[in-house]
Amino acid sequence: MSPEGSLIVPPAARRMLPPSRLRRILRGAAVPAVLFVAALLLRAFSFAPAVIDTDEGLYMLQAREWLAGNWPLVGVWDMHPVGAPALFAAIMFVLGDDIWVPRLLGLLGTWATAWGLYAIVRFATAPPALGLAAGLLYLAHATLLGGLATNTEVLFTPLTTWSMALGLRGARRAIENNEAPPFAKVVAMGLMVGFALAIKPVTFFEGSLAWLLLVGPAFLRGLLPWPRVVLYAVAYALLCATPTLAFAAAYALRGNFDAFLVGSFLAPMRYAGARVGLLDAGRFTLIAAMILLWAFVLLVPALWRPRVRRGPVALLRRFCVVWFAAATCAVVMPGMYFQHYFLIWLPPLSLLAALGARRLARAARPGLVVASFALIVGGVAVDAWRSSTVPRLYGAIGLTGPDPVREVADALRREIEPGDAVWVVNYHPALYVLAEAGLATRYAFPAQLVGPYWSVTGIDPNEEVARILSTTPRAIVIDRGWWPNVRPRIAAMIEEALAENYDLAAVVWEERGPVEVWRLR
């Protein structure tokens, strides 16, 4: 006993004492905290420019109109389900409609995905360093392929990733512990995948794989009888459909079910029907693979004659290969191969790249394995971040250089009163939000009205353009750099209206050429 009468615990005994609750909480929070800081640093430049991707501005506009009572697909048309504008509206309701708000949403989405990759590794009982490495590799590569914008692939990937985590955990417990998955996991996965489907239907493939992971091993080992498997399947399907059915019911109650049906289902099918040719599909895929070059290089040591064929690492490797195949189906499904579609590859690719880095590092001397692993992962991650950052530093848009979109918004704002109807013919829809402008048409995405994808709307674009011009919007914005993409008949109609009713008020130079703001006489 010490002079104070307290028991002196030997050092060896102290090491055997269970950690305190606070220590466990701090230890559990360390990885998500590190990943959040990494996401903030790696995506910092996304907060500078007004526009990174045109789609993002459309979701902002839909959200703004939704908060004003004009629902998506009715107030602002699109050929996607309404899950993305719903998330935009939620965060804009809380934080406002500044550009940094949707970029924060993208940061939170990528962070949640990185954390989900760490959870997958832990649920597989593989080394935690693999999970941290996979999360960092994902965050770095998500700055490429247009991933700095808050697109649908950034929004639904956390949901599919955490569904995969639950599915893998259920598979491992069935294989190792003979435990059948509880119904609560079916509910959780179904709702997550369901909302992912309400963002973009391509998540069908990953959602199906997650369910097979959860139920398949348990069924094969006799832990789930046929009737219960059927019950799980029906329940999972209903839960996956629940968000979409809820949105459909809400639109039906408003008398706008036809707009919901066309925008969420018929238009995407029309879009998928105009697929690019096989040669172009291969070319676009090769470009994406070259952008992700070092991640794909790490697949070689991850998959070539693996030494470990059983255990957590082998389970993780096989799971990632199947996941990558499902992700590839999701990339291919729309048939257009835009670069941001390939962001769906990143979660399984990042896990496989981490496995490849681990195998390379283990070839080093025993005392250098950890350092080698950190060097490989850090080098690949920094190179990906560098590839996305150098062009942004060079252009300096929103940093030390001018931001043409903001300049056009300022010029437009000088010509109108807030809420005045304007028509942004072939420039970014974000301009409506930045300039506090009203809409002359609900077809605010240029390519869907005056550009090559007009057929997805199911309307006659010439009639809609004639209607817009007959209402004489307070201002019209034209990007001359994109003018050749405007259909000739519509271009002639616009030029005639400009000559009769409008004066050129301002010109802002983009890298493609001049952007013109025309005001009504």
Of 203, 257, 223, 229, nearest to 83 by C-alpha is 203
Residue 252, amino acid:
A
Instruction: Find out whether 342 and 333 touch, Cβ atoms under 8 Å.
Output: no
Q: Say what the pLDDT of residue 13 is.
A: 45
Q: How many CA atoms lie within 13 A of 263 on its CB side?
A: 28
* Mean predicted confidence (pLDDT) in 132-151: 95
Instruction: Find out whether 347 and 327 touch, Cβ atoms under 8 Å.
Output: yes
Question: Is there a single domain that holds both residue 367 and residue 438?
Answer: no
Who contacts 123 (Cβ-Cβ below 8 Å, separation ≥6)? 165, 166, 168, 169, 172
Question: Is there a single domain that holds both residue 261 and residue 409?
Answer: no
Instruction: Find out whether 281 and 337 touch, Cβ atoms under 8 Å.
Output: yes
Q: Is residue 488 part of a domain?
A: yes
Mean pLDDT score across all residues of the chain: 91
DSSP conformational letter for 72: B
Question: Is there a single domain that holds both residue 216 and residue 294?
Answer: yes
Question: Is there a single domain that holds both residue 151 and residue 65?
Answer: yes
Question: Is there a single domain that holds both residue 201 and residue 78?
Answer: yes
Number of domains the chain contains: 2
Q: Is residue 8 part of a domain?
A: no
Q: Say what the pLDDT of residue 26 is.
A: 75
Q: Is residue 11 part of a domain?
A: no
Residue 19 main-chain phi, psi, to 5 deg: -65, 150
Q: Say what the pLDDT of residue 461 is.
A: 92
Indicate the pTM of the whole model: 0.91
**Whole-number Å distance between alpha carbons of 393 and 514:** 22
Q: Which residue among 395, 415, 447 closes a domain?
A: 395
Q: In Å, what is the CA distance from 340 to each residue of 143, 328, 359, 453?
A: 10, 13, 30, 18
- What range defines the domain where residue 412 resides? 404-520
**Whole-number Å distance between alpha carbons of 61 and 63:** 5
Q: Say what the pLDDT of residue 40 is.
A: 96
Q: How confident is the model at residue 176 (pLDDT cuts 50, 70, 90)?
A: confident
Question: Could you read off the pLDDT of 38-94 as tens digits, one per residue?
Answer: 999 999 999 999 999 999 999 999 999 999 999 999 999 999 999 999 999 999 999
Q: Which residue among 345, 377, 395 closes a domain?
A: 395
Question: Is there a single domain that holds both residue 312 and residue 411?
Answer: no
Question: Is there a single domain that holds both residue 186 and residue 308?
Answer: yes
* Mean predicted confidence (pLDDT) in 386-409: 90
Q: Which residue among 395, 417, 447 closes a domain?
A: 395
Question: Could you read off the pLDDT of 277-321 as tens digits, one per residue?
Answer: 889 889 999 999 999 999 999 999 999 887 777 888 888 999 999
Q: How confident is the model at residue 276 (pLDDT cuts 50, 70, 90)?
A: confident
**Whole-number Å distance between alpha carbons of 304 and 309:** 12
Question: Is there a single domain that holds both residue 381 and residue 412?
Answer: no
Q: Where are the alpha helices (DSSP H) in 362-458?
A: 369-395, 404-415, 430-434
Question: Is there a single domain that holds both residue 315 and residue 459?
Answer: no
**CB 491: neighbour CB atoms within 10 A?**
18
Q: Say what the pLDDT of residue 91 is.
A: 96
509 beta partners = 514
**Whole-number Å distance between alpha carbons of 374 and 322:** 27
Q: Say what the pLDDT of residue 2 is.
A: 42
**Whole-number Å distance between alpha carbons of 508 and 407:** 7
Instruction: Find out whether 272 and 335 touch, Cβ atoms under 8 Å.
Output: yes
Q: Say what the pLDDT of residue 309 is.
A: 74
Q: Say what the pLDDT of residue 22 is.
A: 74
Question: Is there a single domain that holds both residue 268 and residue 348?
Answer: yes
Question: Is there a single domain that holds both residue 355 and residue 414?
Answer: no
**Whole-number Å distance between alpha carbons of 431 and 434:** 5
Q: Quick one: which H or E segment has residue 328?
A: helix 312-332
Residue 339, amino acid:
Q
Q: Is residue 87 part of a domain?
A: yes
Q: Is residue 304 part of a domain?
A: yes
3-state secondary structure of 399: coil
Q: Say what the pLDDT of residue 377 is.
A: 95
- Torsion, CA 306, CA 310, CA 313, CA 317, rounded to 10: 60
Question: Could you read off the pLDDT of 10-51 as tens digits, one per residue?
Answer: 544 444 445 567 777 777 788 999 999 999 999 999 999 999
Question: Is there a single domain that holds both residue 159 and residue 33?
Answer: yes
**Whole-number Å distance between alpha carbons of 425 and 483:** 9
Q: Is residue 381 part of a domain?
A: yes
Instruction: Find out whether 236 and 353 touch, Cβ atoms under 8 Å.
Output: no
Q: Is residue 9 part of a domain?
A: no
Q: Say what the pLDDT of residue 342 is.
A: 96
Q: How many CA atoms lie within 13 A of 321 on its CB side?
A: 11
Q: Is residue 489 part of a domain?
A: yes
516 beta partners = 478, 507
